[in-house]
Structure 1
Amino acid sequence: MTAPIVTRDEPVAGTPMLDARLVVDRGAFRLDLALRISAGEVVALLGPNGAGKTTALRTLAGLTPLHDGYVTLDGQDLDRPDLSRWTATERRPIGVVFQDYLLFPHLTALDNVAFGPRRHGLDRQRARAVASDWLGRMGLAEHARRKPRQLSGGQAQRVALARALAVNPALLLLDEPLAALDARTRLDTRAQLQRHLAAHPGATLLVTHDPLDALVLADRLVIVEQGRVVQEGDAATITAQPRTDYVARLVGLNLHRGRADGHTVRVNADFSLTSGDRHDGEVFVAYPPSAVALYPRRPDGSPRNVWPATITGIQRHGDNLRVQLGGPIDVVADITPAAAAHLHLGAGQPLWAAVKATETRVYPAAPGGSHPE
């Protein structure tokens, strides 16, 4: 017997729509992740490959069982191993948009979207009416009779989203929903997705590698590495104060951890940076690649932070070149092609790097946090 489509009451103020602690053991890897998402909130889960993002999504969807912890959604326990409680995937009030959309190739767009309502107990006519309404909301009414192979990538993505939303889910899971699209289609579809997520009354979890998707679509970011949360907060907080090397690269900053004594931060036994900020104790020092100046010889004059470096790599980065540098600290610098030609840059080339003290930003590090170097 199938469950009817869920109609939800308004959540109690202050109570998250999703309250979960996901603990999954897979040999040497252990996911231990706490997630709380409010009604109407979009949370992006970011992290490097192997961090546990997909495992978290599969656990919430009921495709991977918990070893410990719990999943409580809209006040109901869906998964709680200590009480031998588990809810099958098809009975969870959850909609999922997979990376490759996984539309049924033999069904039309209309019947793909109607599949969820049918599984939740609606007859064929009512399910198709719900599906037609959602295709209209997605701007796809004229494509209702087309099969997936007749749809563009952006159209298929919107059909998959309509299918997920057609069951009025308490939780919407998006697994890299824009990854399969080309750059132009991705730009347009991201804007459309943003509008639909803003209108979704339930909780949304977006799993992505792309920081731009996260910054545009999400209200809050959760960064996971090696199965654990290393940082979370709104985009402004995370981009201003990254706390791991992965997060720093994600937001485009150089990051070092060290011990501050006034304006001096000792990064390692042989190297210190001078900052315009005064601090004491364990700190992070961050600065953008654009703040790193390169010279063929040791510069005279004002820079307080100057050190010898060696080029370890050069890549295009937008209209500029991103130069990777080894030395007493590893950094990246962004320079113009004209400056690169003047310096005659090449791998293995020695030069001098400099950063003005006023270009650095220093902030306290949590005790025992991971060292970015």
Structure 2
Amino acid sequence: MSTSLTKDEGLDARLVLDRGTFTLDVELTVRPGEVLALLGPNGAGKTTALRALAGLAPLTGGHLRLDGETLEDPALRRRTAPEGRPVGVVFQDYLLFPHLTALENVAFGPRCHGMPRAAARELAAGLLDRMGLADHAGAKPRRLSGGQAQRVALARALATGPRLLLLDEPLAALDARARLDVRAELRRHLAAFEAVAVLVTHDPLDAMVLADRLVVVEQGRVVQEGTPAEIARRPRTDYIARLVGLNLYRGDAAGHTVRVAPGLGLTTTETLDGPAFVAFPPSSVTLHRERPDSSARNAWPAEVTGMESHGDQLRVALTGSGPAAGLPLAADLTPVAVAELLLAPGVQVWASVKAAQTHSYPA
């Protein structure tokens, strides 16, 4: 569902780009002060959408309006050049000028817009101070850590007073330790940003922490939109389910049962009728060498297809057999449990999950 905007505030866009073998058709509406994250697998069209917003990839259809002003509309033959758009961009690899100091990098944009040198440097110094980089104003990019370079890039993007801030995988170049600190800092700066911010990322944690709302794109189309909590609780595609770490099945519901395979119905606590999804976390799955005699209402045979480390546990990949033939499944077990069950690829087991640990909702 699109966010309602008045005609004079925020971003209102339908981004249509036809590249022959790939067509992007994505609608985005974002309020001022809101951070929107575009999520999707590789090749989904996230970066293409970001380039379209920046004016680097011309639209073949749709429109792009920002604060009531039409920046692009192919039907009207109207298109504002990238340099004429009130847009700031933070690129994945930051693209800082290597021969300029941090201060000069940040002052570059305002200077290009005609601001006097002294005023631009004063503005840049203030932004670097806000970023906690006042002591590094005279340093060139090669002297900065990844986190410091990311903050300089953000300051540079903010220096021109953009009405639309675009962030392309802003934390991808950082190591795991730096990501934790910089993610928290970036969230603080974005919370203070009064215009529209659009973030492209493949990292669900970045999206969940930094964004107010998520738009998930697959094969050039929006497949789901909502708050991080809504997306995490009710995924609607396999990609989203894997992203948030859930097993997801689609089937037909009748009361407390959702039939997800010809011979398998899963019992849930919710009462539904018609097309429905069933989701549950891998941690709720129990594996057994024999058919379980327990309180779990849902049990089916499966074959182990692989295992990998997942934090302090092992994630076991399985494929259903018998009435659940071909049904994929992920289960999280301790190394001790895996050893006791003698699990290995090809081993036949029984999987079970309690009804109380499932969640069903309309498809």
Q: Match of 2:270, SS?
A: strand
1:161-207, CA deviations, whole angstroms, 9 ceiling, x for partnerless residues? 00000111000000000010011111111111111101111100010
What is the alpha-carbon distance in structure 2 between the residues aligned to residue 123 and residue 301 of structure 1? Answer: 76
What is the alpha-carbon distance in structure 1 between the residues aligned to residue 135 and residue 294 of structure 2? Answer: 67
Matched, 1:77 2:75: no
Matched, 1:361 2:354: no
Matched, 1:201 2:194: yes
8 Å Cα contact 1:322/1:332 also seen in 2: yes
Equivalent of residue 135 in structure 1, options 123, 128, 134: 128
Tell me the CA shift for residue 15 of structure 1.
5.0
What is the alpha-carbon distance in structure 2 between the residues aligned to residue 147 and residue 91 of structure 1? Answer: 28
Tell me the CA shift for residue 268 of structure 1.
2.3
Number of the residue aligned with 1:51: 44
What is the alpha-carbon distance in structure 2 between the residues aligned to residue 299 and residue 103 of structure 1? Answer: 60
Number of the residue aligned with 1:154: 147
8 Å Cα contact 2:36/2:211 also seen in 1: yes
8 Å Cα contact 1:15/1:38 also seen in 2: no
Number of the residue aligned with 1:368: none
Matched, 1:165 2:165: no
8 Å Cα contact 1:16/1:36 also seen in 2: no
Matched, 1:345 2:338: no
Tell me the CA shift for residue 309 of structure 1.
0.5
Equivalent of residue 323 in structure 1, options 316, 320, 324: 316
Matched, 1:36 2:29: yes
Q: Match of 1:299, SS?
A: coil
Moved over 3 A (4+): 12-16
What is the alpha-carbon distance in structure 2 between the residues aligned to residue 276 and residue 146 of structure 1? Answer: 60
Equivalent of residue 179 in structure 1, options 172, 183, 187: 172
Equivalent of residue 304 in structure 1, options 297, 318, 325: 297
What is the number of equivalent residue pairs in this alignment?
354
- Residue segments in structure 2 that go unaligned for 5+ positions in a row: none
8 Å Cα contact 2:7/2:67 also seen in 1: no
**TM-score (norm: length of structure 1):** 0.93
Tell me the CA shift for residue 26 of structure 1.
1.4
8 Å Cα contact 1:265/1:272 also seen in 2: yes
Number of the residue aligned with 1:216: 209
Tell me the CA shift for residue 133 of structure 1.
1.0
319-328 vs 49-58, which deviates more?
Answer: 319-328
What is the alpha-carbon distance in structure 1 between the residues aligned to residue 10 and residue 255 of structure 2? Answer: 45
User: After superposition, where does 1:186-335 map in structure 2 within 5 Å?
Assistant: 186-327=179-320, 328=324, 329-335=327-333
**TM-score (norm: length of structure 2):** 0.95
What is the alpha-carbon distance in structure 1 between the residues aligned to residue 53 and residue 328 of structure 2? Answer: 39
What is the alpha-carbon distance in structure 2 between the residues aligned to residue 278 and residue 21 of structure 1? Answer: 37
8 Å Cα contact 1:22/1:31 also seen in 2: yes
Taking only the aligned residue pairs, the percentage that are identical comes to 65
Matched, 1:86 2:84: no
1:44-64, CA deviations, whole angstroms, 9 ceiling, x for partnerless residues? 110000000000000000100
Tell me the CA shift for residue 14 of structure 1.
7.8
Change (3 A) 1:15 1:298: farther
8 Å Cα contact 2:7/2:68 also seen in 1: no
What is the alpha-carbon distance in structure 1 between the residues aligned to residue 82 and residue 124 of structure 2? Answer: 21
Tell me the CA shift for residue 13 of structure 1.
6.2
What is the alpha-carbon distance in structure 1 between the residues aligned to residue 68 and residue 246 of structure 2? Answer: 40
1:263-304, CA deviations, whole angstroms, 9 ceiling, x for partnerless residues? 221112232212222211000001111111000111113222
What is the alpha-carbon distance in structure 1 between the residues aligned to residue 9 and residue 247 of structure 2? Answer: 35
25-34 vs 263-272, which deviates more?
Answer: 263-272
1:194-247, CA deviations, whole angstroms, 9 ceiling, x for partnerless residues? 111011111000100111111111111111111111111111111111111111
Q: Match of 2:115, SS?
A: coil
8 Å Cα contact 2:102/2:139 also seen in 1: yes
8 Å Cα contact 1:255/1:286 also seen in 2: yes
